[in-house]
Structure 1
Amino acid sequence: MSPWLLFSFVIGYFVILLIVAYFTSRNSNNDTFFIGNKNSNWMLVAFGMIGTSLSGVTFVSVPGGVGDVAGGAFKGFAYMQVTIGYLIGYAVIAFVLLPLYYRLNLTSIYNYLQHRFGNIAYKTGALFFIISRTVGATARLYLVINILQFFILDKMGVPFVVTASFILLMILLYTFEGGVKTIVYTDTLQTTLMVTGLIVCVIYILHHLNIGGAEALSQMSAKGYLNIFNTDVNSKGFFLKQIVGGAFITIAMTGLDQEMMQKNISVKRLGDSQKNVMTMALVMAGVLFLFLMLGGLLYMFTLSKGGVYTDVNIDGVMVKQLLITDPHNAGQTMNVIGDKMFPSVAMNFLPPAISIMFIIALISALFPSADGALTALTSSFCIDILGLKNRTDLNEKEKKKKRLTVHFTFAFIFLICILVFYAINNNSIIDVILDLAGYTYGPLLGLFAFGIFTKRILPNTPLITVISLAAPVLCYIISKNAAAWFGGFQIGIELLLLNGLLTYLGLLMISKKDNAVN
């Protein structure tokens, strides 16, 4: 298919987003940008947040992981273990964290740390959010931009840096005025297109293989793709680790994340916000199952087209690959295992209409996480670091000018981070994101847990920041030596919980008793 044709659909998609942004950002102000004037519709927020939570990484990596090999067996549907944990985590967010945020009428959720512990804890929490969301969002952006680059822009002779710059410019254009108010609507549109693309691909492959859904699951089970629960206690994928880790990943990456909570607290009433979170959780679990089913179908489709698993020695390490003949280059083979599976099949083996739908769904999966992250980082830096909301020495126009400067600065930082990921070129971005989240969100988890579950107070001291920085370092050392120290035990997704616990214990050491808790 012509790369120019595919590129025209990408441009058309951006035009639609700009039109939505134009109508939603009229008469906007700083409150519109930061919290949508606290007038967002909970149903729109709930549906749009599905796209934000899943992102392009889920769109590509979750299906690709089904037929990938770990520990001598297919990963299969093991991601459902994490999904069970997600449901537990969302319940904690809805019934523990949201009532707290609404009671304090927060614009930035890190103001809770200021109420509870003082300015240094507040700034530390905001700092870790900024680091966490910048790294996570740019990793997600990199994956999707890289796919667009490989299948479209490389064939047009466009350098990667130009592609990344163009996409970031488009995100800037439709978010810099309306902020949260705009992205509530654009995320709803993009989630719709993403889920539609997912369903279309599932239906097409089922039709092509001439099987129904039940028969497809039966065949996946026979091939070993349907495994869910890992019972190896020492494995990173042990089911209890995955469930507990999934719960805490959700609490940290959603409940303690300004980007995600910014949309929730833009809903006027607490009850509606809670409905939003639980509705999103249930729908997202169903969507993730559909992604896993698509993954199994993609591997079955590839094998039916002559794909063959083979072991390849790369730098002295035996790596499992799934090779298939490139339909556009006779005699050449492609490795389509993992993150390469969905885009390779969609762009090379499916009809042009499905390929176009895939590109639209892919960029729809990309932007809810990117635009929300850019908006939330701008909000957090302006409110938490610059104190812009309470500045009396600046008028509304001057505040807006500073906000726009911060917004453009973060876009530039995004570009630098994307180029760093491009240089690293890791083939399993979802694993990278979960690992990084364990290190960067752990101190946030420890800070909030200490505030919520104890009545102790902390001195307003830089030791809070030192402890929050030391905990991830200790976690890294423990993680790298766990197998040697603990009889083969490997630390996986529960790294976040360990990090939070170390932060909590460090804070406990410098705290003192005081019953006067705000």
Structure 2
Amino acid sequence: MNPGTVLLFFVFAYFIGLLVIAYFTSRNSDNQSFFIGNKKSKWWLVAFGMIGTSLSGVTFISVPGTVGKITAGDYPFGGFEYYMMVIGFFIGYFIVAFVLLPLYYRMNLTSIYTYLGKRFNVEAHKIGSIFFIISRSIGATARLYLVVNILQIFLLENLGVPFWLTAFVLLLMILLYTFEGGVKTIVITDTLQTSFMIISLIACIVYILSNLNLSFGEAYSILEQKQYTHLINSDVNSKTFFLKTLLGGMFITIAMTGLDQEMMQKNISVDNLQNSKKNMLTFAGTLLIVNLAFLFLGGLLYLFALENGAVYGDGAFGFRDSAGQIKNIMGDDLFPALSLGHFPLALSIIFIIGLVSALFPSADGALTAVTSSFCVDLLGMNEDQQKTEKQKKRLRMKIHLTFTVIFFILIMIFKALNDKSIVYLIMEIAGYTYGPLLGLFAFGILTKFTIEKKYAILVVTLLAPVLTYLINLFVTNNTDYRIGVELIILNGFLTFLGLWLVRKK
């Protein structure tokens, strides 16, 4: 049997398993099951499942590829520099656990943006939700595009399957198993998917160490000699200067986890605050270990490729073709190129399942979260006394389907752009879209001022990203300094400052 056919069979079997789980978890489900899992989720299940949501296909594919990239470019990190951001993430999770989670539980929120409505006004509530929907839709579909494109190039293109059909089928899969159960289903499926992702990670590490006849310590020593374990970037002007990466990682976590409905709706689905804190801190600690393992795998992948004939040349890294040209596999292509072209079939199957497992948690959670936010925040479904539960459920399903179509359109736009750096561009855009949320929540929590001027919050939250962009442009064109992940801090600060200026005196 053709290896490609075998891999597709396992992908199909994996999806059938997800549908079976969805069937059992969605029985007798209602809107509260869909939105917050009836607040009956087990904290340890949520903690483990959130690993898959946080890592996503970008981490699974991109992080290992950055290890060999020492110079700046599409892949800004080199060696283990990315780990400084992970340490920043870890610090940020403590702030989420001890500042934001108590606030959400005290107010018994279904949507975290309800806080903005109660703290300020209806305008702030809806603006917060809109910024989230835009941010999560673009970010999730960018991650989806990356994985779909890899499946297309390395597996389905040779079988004559068009890209649009691959994207359509994968989104249809996600729609089918989230349609009824929502968060109640996702808490279980994310746990399964995280398990497969970690199994794939460990299996690949074990195989490469065995193939190269190296122990863990010997492999690390070789990586150290080749500067693949380089951790601290001391160049203040660089985008990956360790201090800005550390602080940027901390604020990215606060904004993209603590102020993100997708991530928080899983946390507030846990039965009580103490268990939700346990979930957050367990998840944070596990993430430190898992990200380090992905970086170690990245170094091993480069060693494996070099041992099997790969070379550096003309800014590229890869294997020479029949014409003597180097086919570049540096970055996002490294892991799939070696897994599907140089590993045994059994390991290729494990890789594909791991890749699909990395795809689904970030996509299914995003689709459910934007549906929840639209229904609760923009339509006020929870407070609507005019519609029956059945009518609300029918409307929610229509919205869920609509966002699936929007996700498909966005993926096709990314395909039309056909730029491998698009994922990193989207991560930069997240600094612009999450910054206003960071400023809004910070102003609400850290001050007691109110905003009464009509449209004041709208003007501030639109103006802050524009000013951030102009400042970034000026700094880039006129200085040696490069703004990196601290972009979100600048945006949040400008939002906070703008709200301070328009506050009620």
> What is the TM-score when the length of structure 1 is the normalising length?
0.95
1:428: how far off?
3.7
CA–CA separation in structure 2 for the residues paired with 1:70 and 1:429: 19
CA–CA separation in structure 1 for the residues paired with 2:340 and 2:52: 22
Moved more, 94-103 or 462-471: 462-471
CA–CA separation in structure 1 for the residues paired with 2:489 and 2:25: 40
Task: Say if 1:62 and 1:354 are closer, same or farther in 2 by CA, change over 3 A.
Answer: same
Moved more, 430-439 or 233-242: 430-439
1:43 and 1:276 in contact (8 A); partners too: yes
CA–CA separation in structure 2 for the residues paired with 1:340 and 1:479: 30
Structure 1 residue 352 corresponds to structure 2 residue 345: yes
Output the amino acid matched with 1:401: R
Q: Secondary structure at 2:319's aligned position in 1?
A: strand
Over the aligned positions, Cα root-mean-square deviation in angstroms equals 1.4
2:454 alignment partner, one of 451, 461, 466? 461
Moved more, 172-181 or 455-464: 455-464
1:213-228 aligned at under 5 Å gives the runs 213-228=216-231
1:61 and 1:429 in contact (8 A); partners too: no
Residue of structure 2 equivalent to 1:403: 396
Q: Secondary structure at 2:225's aligned position in 1?
A: helix
Residue of structure 2 equivalent to 1:12: 13
CA–CA separation in structure 1 for the residues paired with 2:493 and 2:233: 25
1:93-172 aligned at under 5 Å gives the runs 93-172=96-175
1:298 and 1:342 in contact (8 A); partners too: yes
Residue of structure 2 equivalent to 1:317: none
Residue of structure 2 equivalent to 1:315: none
2:317 alignment partner, one of 300, 319, 322? 322
CA–CA separation in structure 1 for the residues paired with 2:435 and 2:140: 17
Q: Secondary structure at 1:130's aligned position in 2?
A: helix
1:471 and 1:499 in contact (8 A); partners too: yes
Structure 1 residue 80 corresponds to structure 2 residue 83: yes
Task: Say if 1:151 and 1:464 are closer, same or farther in 2 by CA, change over 3 A.
Answer: same
1:332: how far off?
6.4
1:71: how far off?
4.4
1:481: how far off?
2.0
CA–CA separation in structure 2 for the residues paired with 1:71 and 1:449: 33
CA–CA separation in structure 1 for the residues paired with 2:341 and 2:467: 45
1:206 and 1:213 in contact (8 A); partners too: yes
Output the amino acid matched with 1:508: W
CA–CA separation in structure 2 for the residues paired with 1:426 and 1:97: 37
Output the amino acid matched with 2:339: A
Output the amino acid matched with 1:147: I
Residue of structure 2 equivalent to 1:271: 274
1:191 and 1:365 in contact (8 A); partners too: yes
CA–CA separation in structure 2 for the residues paired with 1:70 and 1:333: 19
Q: Deviations over 1:192-247 (max 9, x none)?
A: 00000000000100111111111111111111111011000010000000000000
Q: Secondary structure at 1:322's aligned position in 2?
A: strand
1:35 and 1:180 in contact (8 A); partners too: yes
CA–CA separation in structure 1 for the residues paired with 2:355 and 2:207: 17
Task: Say if 1:339 and 1:428 are closer, same or farther in 2 by CA, change over 3 A.
Answer: farther
1:121 and 1:460 in contact (8 A); partners too: no
CA–CA separation in structure 2 for the residues paired with 1:152 and 1:494: 38
Structure 1 residue 491 corresponds to structure 2 residue 483: yes
1:366-445 aligned at under 5 Å gives the runs 366-428=359-421, 430-445=423-438
Output the amino acid matched with 2:282: T
Residue of structure 1 equivalent to 2:30: 29
1:140 and 1:366 in contact (8 A); partners too: yes
Task: Say if 1:90 and 1:369 are closer, same or farther in 2 by CA, change over 3 A.
Answer: same
1:69: how far off?
3.2
Moved more, 176-185 or 63-72: 63-72
Residue of structure 1 equivalent to 2:242: 239
Residue of structure 2 equivalent to 1:38: 39
1:502 alignment partner, one of 488, 494, 498? 494
Aligned pair count reads 502
Task: Say if 1:483 and 1:428 are closer, same or farther in 2 by CA, change over 3 A.
Answer: closer
CA–CA separation in structure 2 for the residues paired with 1:386 and 1:405: 13
CA–CA separation in structure 2 for the residues paired with 1:386 and 1:237: 41
1:484: how far off?
3.6
CA–CA separation in structure 1 for the residues paired with 2:196 and 2:264: 23
CA–CA separation in structure 2 for the residues paired with 1:71 and 1:154: 31
Q: Which runs of 5 or more structure 1 residues have no equivalent in the other structure?
A: 312-319, 514-518
Q: Deviations over 1:121-173 (max 9, x none)?
A: 11100000000000000000000000111112111111111110111011000
Moved more, 451-460 or 378-387: 451-460
Q: Which runs of 5 or more structure 2 residues have no equivalent in the other structure?
A: none
CA–CA separation in structure 2 for the residues paired with 1:481 and 1:214: 46
CA–CA separation in structure 1 for the residues paired with 2:324 and 2:189: 44
CA–CA separation in structure 2 for the residues paired with 1:389 and 1:285: 37
CA–CA separation in structure 2 for the residues paired with 1:378 and 1:181: 14
Task: Say if 1:162 and 1:288 are closer, same or farther in 2 by CA, change over 3 A.
Answer: same
Output the amino acid matched with 1:462: Y
Output the amino acid matched with 1:68: K
Structure 1 residue 448 corresponds to structure 2 residue 435: no
2:33 and 2:184 in contact (8 A); partners too: yes
2:145 and 2:415 in contact (8 A); partners too: yes
CA–CA separation in structure 2 for the residues paired with 1:174 and 1:473: 39
Sequence identity, in percent?
A: 58
2:262 alignment partner, one of 259, 263, 282? 259
Residue of structure 1 equivalent to 2:309: 306
CA–CA separation in structure 2 for the residues paired with 1:430 and 1:461: 36
1:430: how far off?
4.8
CA–CA separation in structure 1 for the residues paired with 2:266 and 2:72: 40
1:120 and 1:460 in contact (8 A); partners too: no
Q: Deviations over 1:439-465 (max 9, x none)?
A: 110000000000000111111522211
